[in-house]
């Protein structure tokens, strides 16, 4: 080994230091690999369902004025399935799920068997109007009374959706985005159960 190579090697880590570094790095790398494995195999936000104290109870009030100024009261929609969707116009998962809500509404609006009401969560009416103008959707969007509804439903973040049965009972809660097919599957399963 030449003199410059010896000096360069001496300036770096000693053989014992390198071994210690390997023994420290090995468990850290293993822990990181296990964390990646757990995160990669867990349910996605689209599949996460959640528990809630209001499941199985009559739906808390959702009432107030919509972004168009019309009065809205969830109780007026008894006899139909209703998705109560809490959202925000700048929330990326809300933007991603929105076409699914549009598809669900298009499937059910004409028949009148299922409806959607969106509840504005920490957003401005102007932003929400622009959001619906750009992304579509022709269902009531509650602006006033939204904060009270979010508290009553225990909303912790958006998007968050609840399915209210025709009887007025909350039967399902979804954290994260929903899909039109996923909502239809839940309704079909609940309708098929005795």
In whole angstroms, what is the distance from residue 155 CA to residue 11 CA?
A: 58
Instruction: Write the burial class of residue 2 (CB in 10 Å: 0-12 exposed, 13-18 middle, 19+ buried).
Output: exposed
Residue 31 lies in a domain: yes
- The predicted-structure confidence for 123-148, as pLDDT tens digits, reads as follows 999 999 999 999 999 999 999 999 99
pLDDT on residue 36 = 46
Asked if residue 124 lies in contact with residue 91, where contact means CB atoms within 8 angstroms, the answer is: no
In this prediction the pTM is 0.74
Could you tell me if 96 and 135 are in contact, meaning their C-beta atoms sit under 8 angstroms apart? no
Query: Are 28 and 72 found together in one domain?
Result: no
Query: pLDDT at position 11, please?
Result: 53
Q: Are residues 100 and 181 in the same domain?
A: yes
Tell me what pLDDT residue 41 has: 41
Query: What gap in Å lies between CA 47 and CA 176, rounded to an integer?
Result: 8
Query: 87: exposed, middle or buried (C-beta count within 10 Å: 0-12, 13-18, 19+)?
Result: buried
Which of the residues in the chain have pLDDT under 50?
34-49
In the chain, the number of structural domains is 2
The range of the structural domain enclosing residue 95 comes to: 63-192
- pLDDT of amino acid 9: 53
Residues 97 and 158 in one domain: yes
Is 122 within a domain? yes
pLDDT at 53: 85
Both 101 and 18 in a single domain?
no
95 lies in the same domain as 180: yes
Q: Are 14 and 106 in a shared domain?
A: no
């Amino acid at each position: 080994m030449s003199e410059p190579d010896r000096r360069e090697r001496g300036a770096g880590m000693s053989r014992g230091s390198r071994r210690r570094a390997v023994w420290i790095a090995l468990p850290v790398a293993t822990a990181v690999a296990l964390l990646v494995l757990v995160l990669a195999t867990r349910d996605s936000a689209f599949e996460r369902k959640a528990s809630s104290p209001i499941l199985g109870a009559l739906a808390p009030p959702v009432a107030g004025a919509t972004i168009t100024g019309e009065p809205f009261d969830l109780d007026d929609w008894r006899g139909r399935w209703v998705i109560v969707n809490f959202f925000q116009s700048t929330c990326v998962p809300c933007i991603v799920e929105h076409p699914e809500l549009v598809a669900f509404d298009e499937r059910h609006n004409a028949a009148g068997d299922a409806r959607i009401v969106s509840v504005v969560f920490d957003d401005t009416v102007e932003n929400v109007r622009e959001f619906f103008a750009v992304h579509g959707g022709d269902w009531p969007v509650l602006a006033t009374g939204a904060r009270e509804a979010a508290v009553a439903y225990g909303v912790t973040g958006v998007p968050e959706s609840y399915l209210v049965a025709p009887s007025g009972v909350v039967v399902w809660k979804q954290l994260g985005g929903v899909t039109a097919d996923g909502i239809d599957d839940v309704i079909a399963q609940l309708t098929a159960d005795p």
